[in-house]
Amino acid sequence: PVLVVDFGAQYAQLIARRVREAGVYSEIVPHTVTAADIAAKNPVALILSGGPSSVYEEGAPALDSDIFDLGVPTLGICYGFQVMARALGGEVANTGLREYGATDASLTGDGGVLLGGQPDTQNVWMSHGDQVARAPEGFEVLASTADTPVAAFGSAEKGFYGVQWHPEVKHTDRGQEVIENFLHKAAGLAADWNSGNVIDEQVARIREQVGSARVISALSGGVDSAVSTALVHKAIGDQLTAVFVDHGLLRKGEREQVEQDYVASTGVRLITVDAADTFLGHLKGVSDPEQKRKIIGREFIRAFEKVQLDLVAEAKAEGEPIKFLVQGTLYPDVVESGGGTGTANIKSHHNVGGLPEDLDFELIEPLRTLFKDEVRQIGRDLGLPEAIVGRQPFPGPGLGIRIVGEVTADRLEILREADAIAREELTRAGLDSEIWQCPVVLLADVRSVGVQGDGRTYGHPIVLRPVSSEDAMTADWTRLPYDVLSKISNRITNSVRDVNRVVLDVTSKPPGTIEWE
Ligand code: XMP
């Protein structure tokens, strides 16, 4: 494999994903691996990721420098570029200068194997404080910026290359080309890996993990759980039962849709659990977002545990528990819950940071290292219909994290109506494939004055949060046509009780997240 050495932050998985896009198999290893660990994995190339630190900071993530004696082609990115420069005898300086965001980088020669054929000046995305002041001996400087004299370097002889910028982010114009030049030209690797390989590998891994045990799968109606369930079904067939928990936080018509679509297209045995009263009971009086998320995460698990007991009783299996639970966890869920190396907890996704500590299940999460669009492709390869794989994301905690304030049955009813109107109008306007998703949020603790039918009202605002995104890690607000917004606003304020205002969220991510809680 290509090994991506993780120095923290959120970059390593993104790099691994770009390597997969280039048709090459990759795995991630922590920066604490030794040269011997690496050698044992027989890597065909190494990529050193960016990271949050300065190489001079105390406790800065280090790397076993014997790794550079293994004779494996290596690409250093940002922090990884500086680690490489230092280990090979170059110089890294803390100049006090910082470069963040879009920056112009200029080739200093023909660009070599790494940047050859790219424009003389190109837009790259930077995020660094320290900089490489002198390239190691035998290395050619390939590019520079106004503030960074050594912004890229390489040694064709050693097969070592590095860039100060982030080629893995979409904001770098020719970033993917840099990664592909390194993989295909510098390391000589063929593009022969695709999502079909993921399916074969996961099927084999799941069979080995599960043996003849029975398994339940958490199905939510969303893409991720649909694909993970289908994948596990392919691996172990009838050993699997899918469980759909109706937690009372669903959108209008959602339960019926899951029950019909999913069973019709996969033939998986499905159990629906009615748990609305239980969830609402536990959410009573709670308005803190993280607390809501943890309660919902925990109650999901409690519902699965109950199904587990029922199934065991039904099969009269003597005390044989169903110890495996399939979840459709994706990589962004893991990162935001603080699960990457050295990453901050932004919010606890119900299926990661929201899990209870006394979890009795062994988890099967075949999509844990992937991004949504990769998962959609796998779903298509598995034969799931477009109605399922093309669906917009909807979070497991559902409307529970779209009511800012306490969640009550009454408020849910209001939000459900407003959401149904927004979805209907967006679909009617043919905008479904243009937007990534459009959360509709009820600001239940906010009131404002309105006038309706000659009378004063004192109602709540509804927020529309349409976003465009590629992988939910970053997003921009979607510029919806005014006439569509106007239609949605009119219909909601005319027909949804207690709502007298509709507002539009025009914040990108970052700094906002997609969901309000
Ligand atoms: P944020 O709000 O973090 O959302 O920008 C990123 C994406 O993740 C979805 N999301 C969740 N999905 N469980 C889920 O299954 C969760 O707890 C959760 N929180 C956020 C959100 O809808 C968006 O697509």
Q: For ligand 1, atom 14, which residue shows the shortest CA distance? A: 395
Per-residue pLDDT, averaged over 362-390, amounts to 92
Q: Whose CA is nearest to atom 16 of ligand 1?
A: 349
Contacts of 346 (CB under 8 A, 6+ apart): 336, 337, 338, 513
Residue 5 and residue 87 in contact, taking contact as beta carbons nearer than 8 Å: no
At residue 339, the pLDDT reads: 62
The band of 323, judged by pLDDT with boundaries at 50, 70 and 90, is: confident
User: Hey, which of 251, 327, 514, 517 would you mutate to test ligand 1's pocket, going by the most ligand atoms within 8 Å of its Cβ?
Assistant: 514
| Rounded distance from Cα 484 to ligand 1 centre (Å) | 25
Q: Which of 6, 93, 99 is nearest to 51 (CA)?
A: 6
Give 352's pLDDT tier (boundaries 50, 70, 90).
Answer: confident
**70-84, 192-206, 263-277, 311-325: least confident range:** 311-325
Per-residue three-class SS string for 386-414: HHHHCCCCCCCCHHHHCEECCCCHHHHHH
Q: Measured at the alpha carbon of residue 358, what is the angle toward residues 353 and 363, in degrees to the nearest 5?
A: 65
What DSSP element (H or E) covers 127? strand 121-128
Find residue 326's DSSP bridge partners. 217, 364
* Longest alpha-carbon distance in the chain: 81
Please tell me the total number of residues recorded for the chain in this structure.
517
Higher pLDDT, 319 or 150: 150
Which residues does a 6 A CB cutoff place in the pocket of ligand 1?
293, 336, 347, 349-351, 393, 395-397, 437, 472, 509, 513-515
Neighbouring-strand partners of residue 27:
3
Distance 313 CA to ligand 1 centre (A): 35
**Distance (Å) from CA 349 to ligand 1 centroid:** 7
Nearest to 224 by CA among 119, 96, 334: 334
Residue 144 φ then ψ, to 5°: -145, 165
Residue 9 in this model has a pLDDT that exceeds 70: no
Determine the atom of ligand 1 nearest the C-alpha atom of 222.
15
Q: Which of 208-212, 316-320, 345-349 has the lowest mean pLDDT?
A: 316-320
Percentage of the chain exceeding pLDDT 90: 72
- Nearest residue by C-alpha to atom 12 in ligand 1: 395
Are the beta carbons of 499 and 418 closer than 8 angstroms?
yes
The answer to whether 161 and 153 are in contact (CB under 8 A) is yes
Distance CA(486)–CA(482), nearest Å, equals: 6
399 and 251 Cβ atoms separated by less than 8 Å: yes
Atom of ligand 1 nearest to the CA of 469: 24
pTM score, whole prediction: 0.80
Q: Tell me the domains of the chain and their CATH numbers.
A: 2-186 (3.40.50.880), 195-389 (3.40.50.620), 402-504 (3.30.300.10)
Q: Which long-range contacts (CB under 8 A, 24 or more apart) does 400-403 make?
A: 400/247, 400/249, 400/279, 400/283, 400/292, 400/296, 401/289, 401/292, 401/293, 401/296, 401/515, 401/516, 401/517, 402/439, 402/440, 402/441, 402/442, 402/515, 402/516, 402/517, 403/441, 403/442, 403/444
Lowest mean pLDDT across 59-63, 374-378, 440-444: 59-63
CA of 472 to the centre of ligand 1 (A): 8
Which of 334, 469, 336, 340 shows the shortest CA–CA distance to 393?
469
- Cβ neighbours for 213, distance < 8 A, ≥ 6 positions apart: 239, 322, 323, 324
Check residue 96 and give its pLDDT: 78
- Is 224 annotated to bind a ligand? Reply is yes
| Enzyme catalytic residues | 78, 166, 168
Closest by CA position to 254, among listed 276, 280, 284, 237? 276
Predicted confidence (pLDDT) per residue in 18-54, tens digit: 999 999 988 888 899 999 999 999 999 999 998 877 7
Rg for the chain (alpha carbons), in Å?
25
Taking the C-alpha atoms of residue 514 and residue 171, their distance in angstroms, rounded to an integer, is 19
Please tell me the predicted confidence (pLDDT) of residue 180.
98
Asked whether 286 and 407 are in contact (CB, 8 A), the reply is: yes
Residue 161 to residues 31, 46, 362: CA-CA distances in angstroms? Answer: 18, 10, 41
39 assigned to a ligand binding site: no
Q: 462 with 496: CB under 8 angstroms? A: yes
ipTM (interface predicted TM): 0.99
Question: What is the rounded CA–CA span in Å between residue 468 and residue 147?
Answer: 33
* pLDDT at site 343: 56
* Closest ligand 1 atom number to CA of residue 515: 2
pLDDT at residue 185, rounded to an integer: 97
Residue 344: per-residue pLDDT: 62
